[in-house]
Amino acid sequence: MREILVETIKNTIKDLFIDANKSLCREEETAILTAAQNEDSPLGKKVMKMIADNLFFAKNADLPICQDTGMAVVFIDIGQDVHITGGDLNNAINDGVAQAYTDGKLRASVVKDPVFDRSNTKNNTPAIVHTNIISGDKIKITAVPKGFGSENMSAIKMFNPSSSREEIIDFVCETVKDAGSNPCPPIFVGVGIGGTFDYAPYLAKKALARGINVKNPDENYKKLEDDILEKVNNVGIGPQGFGGKTTALGVNIEFYPTHIAGLPVAVNINCHVMRHKSAII
Ligand code: SF4
């Protein structure tokens, strides 16, 4: 049994959220730079250039890429041969988030209660935590500061089990069309297919956190990712809604077995600021 101190987890979370807010992973940065080169629409190209410049300035000035520094989403995969010591895991995660947003001077955007007391918690806690037990003696942590301009444009549909592949593609495209310029395009699209009503959106979020360079290992779903991306880029919304062929920079799908009577599909939209940073301890 390997012992890992909660202090180590807290410090890792803090560093990941600060880093994720100030620089994208190489794959998403490359997708933006490539799109800035390839966009045909003059206005779209100009916008892509501004988005690319903004990434560069944020990194060099040690500033957040966007004023919306997101709600803190944490994926934590815990090896079953790990013994977490020195305190409570959930407290450590939230302490790490709180330190990232206060010490890192990142905007706090979380309110105490969604309906009756929308006062700011002032340190961006509590985080949304997805815990998964895996084999081994390591912990993998992925920090995803999730912007809400794009989160608000996400959708779920409980399809009839006899629904076709094309109906799923149409649902994703309609969701993107309805979103228009609201999610700050070009977007990244996470799609969760299967499971239950609550599990499909989790899969969609997990798909976004996977990174755009990792395609689905299943050939059917990999092809579906490619076909959805092509169709979404034909809707013409373009960078920040100014038109062009770059509406989305990537589509990732995660799937899971489901019930014979159902076919849940969730679409989680992320803006061009697709922040995710991971560490293994
Ligand atoms: S959706 Fe993304 S780019 Fe738009 S304001 Fe939020 S974090 Fe920033």
| pLDDT at 278 (0 to 100) | 98
What is the Å distance from ligand 1's center to 234 Cα? Answer: 22
Q: Where does the pLDDT of residue 88 fall: very low under 50, low under 70, confident under 90, or very high at 90 and above?
A: very high
| pLDDT at 166 (0 to 100) | 98
Q: Tell me which residue of 76, 77, 83 sits closest to 127, measured CA to CA.
A: 76
Q: pTM for this one?
A: 0.96
Q: What separation in angstroms does the CA of 162 have from each of 49, 219, 254, 263?
A: 44, 21, 20, 8
Q: What separation in angstroms does the CA of 155 have from each of 108, 150, 266?
A: 25, 11, 6
Q: Identity (one letter) of the amino acid at 245?
A: K
Nearest CA to ligand 1 atom 1: 149
- What pLDDT, in 10s, does the model give residues 155-173? 999 999 999 999 999 999 9
Averaged pLDDT, 235-254 = 96
Q: For 120, which DSSP code?
A: B
Q: Is 240 touching ligand 1 by the criterion CB < 6 Å?
A: no
What is the Å distance from ligand 1's center to 42 Cα? Answer: 23
Q: Is 265 touching ligand 1 by the criterion CB < 6 Å?
A: no
Q: Where does the pLDDT of residue 264 fall: very low under 50, low under 70, confident under 90, or very high at 90 and above?
A: very high
Averaged pLDDT, 96-123 = 98
Nearest CA to ligand 1 atom 5: 68
| pLDDT at 114 (0 to 100) | 98
What is the Å distance from ligand 1's center to 261 Cα? Answer: 37
Averaged pLDDT, 15-41 = 96
- Please count the other Cβ atoms lying within 10 Å of the Cβ belonging to residue 130: 16
Mean residue pLDDT across the chain: 97
256/192 Cα distance (integer angstroms): 8
Averaged pLDDT, 226-250 = 96
Quick one: residue 278, left, alpha or beta (phi over 0 = left, psi -120 to 50 = alpha)? beta
Contact between residue 169 and residue 229 where contact means Cβ atoms under 8 Å apart: no
Q: Is 24 touching ligand 1 by the criterion CB < 6 Å?
A: no
Contact between residue 127 and residue 73 where contact means Cβ atoms under 8 Å apart: yes
Averaged pLDDT, 119-136 = 98
Residue 67 alpha carbon, nearest atom of ligand 1: 8
| pLDDT at 75 (0 to 100) | 98
Averaged pLDDT, 201-209 = 98
What is the Å distance from ligand 1's center to 120 Cα? Answer: 19
Q: Where does the pLDDT of residue 112 fall: very low under 50, low under 70, confident under 90, or very high at 90 and above?
A: very high
Q: Which of 47, 271, 276 to mutate to test the pocket of ligand 1 (most atoms within 8 A of CB)?
A: 271
